[in-house]
Amino acid sequence: MTIWAHVENNEVTGVYDILPNNWRNISGLNLSINDTEYLNSVGWFRIIVVNQTFDIENYKIERWNYNFENNSVVATPVIVEITDEEKQAAIQSHISQQNHFIEEQRKQRNIKLQESDWVMFPDIIELKGQEWYNNWKTYRQLLRDLPQTYPDGNYNWPGVPN
C-alpha cells in the first residue's frame, strides 16, 4: 500500500511506497522520514487511508482516489460491483489452484509409496517379522486412501512405522 504522496499546488502529483533517496535538489530525502514538518514543507505527505467495509464476495476496490484536503492526503477506495464474469473467473482460478494443490499432494503421496516399496520384498518381510510387515502394510494403505479420506487435499500424513 502506498504511504507517501507528493503534492504541488494543492494537487496530488504522485503516490509512492517509499520516500525517494533523492528528489529534485534534495539529497537524502528519505533520511527525513521522521521530520513531518519538513517533509510537508517540500510537498511530501503521509497518506491517510479511509477504511470502508464492503462485501468482498460481491464488490472490489477498483482503484484509489487521492485528495489533498485540510493539509493532508486522503486515500478513498472506489468500490465497484464484481461482474458475473469476474466471479466465474475467480471460481475457475480457485478450482484450478485447488486441483494443482491436490495433484502436488498426490505426487508427494506417490513418492512416499515408492520410498517404501522395499518393505514389500519377501526376504525383508521374513527378516523383519509379520508385525513389522503389518505396520508397513497399514501405512501404505493409509497413503493410498488419502485422496478419498481427505478430498480437499488437506492431508493428515500418517507416521512412518519403525
Looking at 8-22, 85-99, 142-156, which range is the least confident one?
A: 142-156
Q: What is the residue-averaged pLDDT of the chain?
A: 92
Structure-model confidence comparison of residues 145 and 42, the more confident one: 42
Strand, coil or helix: what is 55?
coil
| Cβ atoms of residues 73 and 48 within 8 Å | yes
Percent of the chain with pLDDT over 90: 81
Give me the amino acid identity at 143. Answer: L
At 153, the pLDDT band (50, 70, 90 cuts) reads low
The answer, yes or no, to whether residue 24 has pLDDT greater than 80, is yes
The answer, yes or no, to whether residue 149 has pLDDT greater than 90, is no
In this structure, the number of other CB atoms found within 10 A of the CB of residue 16 comes to 14
Going by C-beta distance under 8 Å and a sequence separation of 6 or more, which residues neighbour residue 43? 6, 7, 8
Beta strands 44-49 and 59-69: pairing type? Answer: unpaired
Segment 87-124, tens digit of pLDDT? 999 899 999 998 898 888 889 999 999 999 999 999 99
Predicted TM-score of the model (pTM): 0.56
Strand, coil or helix: what is 120?
helix
The answer, yes or no, to whether residue 146 has pLDDT greater than 90, is no
Structure-model confidence comparison of residues 162 and 1, the more confident one: 162
- State the pLDDT at residue 148: 79
